[in-house]
Amino acid sequence: MGQAQSDERPAPPSHEELTRALADKFAQKCYNSLELYSFKDVFNSLADHEGQVRYLKQDTIARFLEVPDILDVSAVLFQMVSYVGAFPFLEDAPAVLGLEQMVMVVTLLTERYRRVLAKGSMDRRKLLFRSLAVYDRKLSGVHRKGGAGQDSQMSTGQEGEAVPDSGRPHGFAIDKPGDDEDSALDDDDELVLAAFDSLDYISASKHGSPQTVHGALIPADNWRKLIMLLLLIAPLDAQESLSSYSARLSGDELENLRETADCVLASFLNVEHAPGIKFSRFNTVIPAAMPFLFDGLAGLFEHFLFSKRLDFHRHAGDQPLPLGSPPELIQPLLEDTRSIMNLNVLSQLSLFIPGSSLFRRLRPLYSGDEDGFSMGSFETKVFNWRAPTILLVSGTRLPDNASHAHSGPASAFLATLPPQRFPPGNAGGDEGEKLTFGIYLSQPWKHTHRECFGDEDTLLFQLQPVHDVFRTSTLNKDYASFTKTSASTPIGGISLGCPPPQPTQAYRRSSMISLGPVSLVLESSFEFGCFKHNYTSQGGAFQTSVARKFDFEDRFEISSIEVWGCGGDEEAKHQAERWAWEAREAEARRKINLGTGDIEADRALLEMAGLIGANRSGGSMG
């Protein structure tokens, strides 16, 4: 009898019990009571049911989230959701999306899980890759036949959606092992382990790891569709309707969105040579070039926390608004557009600059098209802005033989560049291809004398035809320089990542621009520019690209140049006050009767006017 008692052990909890326990923990720790009430109300209003099972279908989720049909992304989004819904037992994916599974989805995609699973906060990228990846479909039939006699709770229905069924869950088909490139994907999933740790059930982790996924990849077409959606929803607020962005999904706007997505896609692969993105590439490019790529999912899936049958803006006793009341005015995401900046470029910038600094925060400071292509105009418009700025420059690629095909300014500019020239950054790029580069500076612009300006927050980037970001390094601090042409500095302009121009004697003028290993140069007349990426040197002030591990150089003729200020009303007010002060100073100087020939008398008059003397400089009197 004693032996029988010693063999009696409690049965381990089932997948369903552990999933329910984790969902309850997420619900208690990650949501307040009003959000939970709304969550349940939204789910119950949308759910289909089969027997005692209530679940959400693909078209139901797409309709509720207002995912645009024209993007053809609903199936891709549902694949991701039905995989994440199986958390933490990812080998059971795709999941039937009941209430507990949707708790997993919303908690993980909005990153609220950090309140519970702090240990696994960096591992969500692996989860997202798995949720979007596909494997060798030829093996799918083998796996399904092998499990046909086993018990299951679901199968894959029409359009890939999961519906309740009998038989063992087969999950997604997988490829045979044989590719070591993505071995990191087979390591223990820290997010899953953190989930079991939070339940004090570590022994269950060995049952919660997905099968090996060598050869897993995200198809290029699926990834392009999702990128278009992520660009569209980048500024989305939890209570903002996605349908309000419908103007961006027609005509030229839609084509521009697709072109922007292609530039982002080009960071991951050349679609002509690779069918999809592997995890190693996915895991390398995203943190370096687009760390905020998935941030828009938070605003999209938080829609589940706001029931349309509840008015969160009304207080007790408030009278309902009369019919025909004007809708609440919403500040536009971008006050105005220019030749380069538009809503899609703004969304692209938000992939690596926090959206809180961009959406509804940008102000146009300078545009070459409107203010003139000159450094003087640039200085007048930009130097008084005391908050971060974004410079954008766009142009067309010069041909390889430009120095011979052109005369005048083009050949003169090319003569100032080092003779060694690397191939273009885009292998398929032709003469006349559009190029767009930029710089984000957190410090104000200023004249460069012997030292450059900028700090570790400075970002050098390319937007077109390949999305790329070059972050600062510790090798040197030659981030940015603004130098006007003079007798001592015959070669002026804007340089990013280059040594500052050194004053020279007239008899030994420097006629060559000193390009940094990773650098962008705009010559002083803003007619031509050059971007250099010397990967072999491993970078200078800016790090080399993680997406393009080779040497390249792009020389281009500038068509547009713009500067945008990141800030609000306070920064704009400060700039306006500075402009007004400078206008008064200039007017005072103009009214003073100088030119008498008596330099000392003129200086005394300026000192009495308070325009020079002390720390002021009235310029050269000689």
DSSP secondary structure string for all residues of 478-539 = --EEEE---SS-SS-EEEESSPPPPP--GGG---S----SEEEEEETTSSEEEEEE-GGGT-
State the pLDDT at residue 239: 87
What is the DSSP secondary structure assignment for residue 91, as one 8-state letter? G
Kindly give the parts of the chain with pLDDT less than 50: 1-2, 138-161, 165-180, 204-205, 208, 321, 323-328, 404, 505-508, 614-622
State residue 574's pLDDT score.
Answer: 61
- Structure confidence at residue 203 (pLDDT): 53
Predicted pLDDT of residue 199: 75
**How many CA atoms lie within 13 Å of 125's alpha carbon, on the beta-carbon side?**
18
The pLDDT value given to residue 620: 43
Cβ contacts of residue 148 below 8 Å, gap of 6+? 167
How far apart are alpha carbons 81 and 102 in whole angstroms? Answer: 8
Per DSSP, the three-state class of 168 is coil
Q: CA-CA distance, 564 to 335, in Å (whole number)? A: 11
Backbone angles phi, psi at 390, to 5 degrees: -125, 120
Placement of tokens 């984790």 in the chain: 22
> What is the phi/psi pair of residue 386, to 5°?
-100, 25
| pLDDT score at 570 | 65
What span, in angstroms and rounded, lies between the C-alpha atoms of 432 and 395? 8
Q: What is the pLDDT of residue 492?
A: 84
Rounded Cα gap, residues 220 and 7, in angstroms: 54
- 312 CB-contact burial (10 Å; exposed 0-12 / middle 13-18 / buried 19+): exposed
List, in sequence order, every residue forming a beta bridge with 394; answer none if it has no partner.
436, 560
Residue in 58, 42, 69 with CA at minimum distance from that of residue 94: 58
Closest of 180, 160, 166 to residue 83, by C-alpha: 160
